[in-house]
């Protein structure tokens, strides 16, 4: 009789654990599916800007401002490490690409460059190929609510989408609940914070610097 009670107790505990695991997977899958749906409103936008501030444990700082309006794009990248600074300005007007580079001691420009623009497209950070893949990745993911710069976000870790690169030790996504937009990433010792603006990019964002102030150089 005692053995029956023991087995019954064990069976009940196993059932509770299974139910809790199922609820965990269902909860995560619902959250991920909702974020995947919300981001779709923004992935097709053709007028937007993104500012990314990137910090590392080496005390270096990099800021990237990306502007897009239809077929026009501009990227302004500024990096500061100790007292050394580099600024790269890449412009694509739909017909020609120019790259301006400024350092502490010189200014150069590559006219009609063949270098590719490092764009910051709006993508689904939790992209999967199908529902079963979403369920699988959600089953091992950790998702909790956190506030980032006044925005209600989900902090998502251990979600291994095949469309993202991951750190060796830490990979965390902070995704805004209402929009599905990626607000912050933590990949090992590198932290990146994103700010977005939509439907307000003007043509002035694509006006290039005075080329006369730069030395024209050929591509290597």
Q: Which residues contact 18 (CB under 8 A, 6 or more apart)?
A: none
Joined tokens for residue 61: 């700082």
Along the 220 residues of the chain, how does pLDDT read in single tens digits? 576 777 777 777 888 888 889 999 999 999 999 999 999 999 989 999 999 998 875 667 889 999 999 999 999 999 887 777 889 999 998 888 999 999 888 899 988 888 776 667 888 989 999 999 999 999 999 999 999 999 999 999 988 888 776 666 678 999 999 999 999 998 887 889 999 999 999 999 999 999 889 888 887 6
3-state helix, strand, coil in the chain (%, to 5): 25, 40, 35
- The pTM of this model reads 0.85
């Amino acid at each position: 009789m005692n053995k029956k009670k023991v087995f019954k107790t064990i069976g009940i505990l196993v059932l509770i654990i299974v139910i809790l695991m199922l609820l965990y997977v269902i909860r995560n899958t619902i959250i991920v599916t909702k974020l995947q749906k919300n981001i779709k409103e923004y992935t097709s936008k053709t007028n937007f800007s993104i500012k990314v501030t990137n910090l590392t444990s080496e005390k270096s700082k990099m800021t990237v401002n990306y502007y897009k309006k239809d077929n026009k794009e501009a990227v302004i990248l500024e990096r500061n490490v100790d007292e050394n600074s580099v600024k790269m300005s890449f412009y694509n007007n739909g017909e020609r690409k120019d790259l301006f580079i400024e350092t502490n001691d010189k200014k150069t420009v590559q006219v009609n460059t063949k270098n590719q623009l490092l764009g910051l497209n709006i993508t689904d950070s939790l992209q999967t190929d199908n529902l079963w893949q979403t369920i699988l990745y959600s089953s091992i993911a950790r998702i909790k609510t956190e506030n980032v710069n006044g925005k209600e976000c989900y902090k998502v870790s251990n979600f291994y989408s095949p469309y993202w690169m991951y750190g060796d030790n830490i990979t965390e996504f902070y995704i805004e609940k209402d929009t599905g937009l990626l607000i912050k990433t933590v990949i090992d010792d590198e932290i990146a914070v994103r700010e977005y603006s939509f439907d307000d990019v003007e043509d002035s964002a694509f006006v290039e610097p005075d080329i006369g102030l730069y030395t024209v150089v050929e591509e290597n």
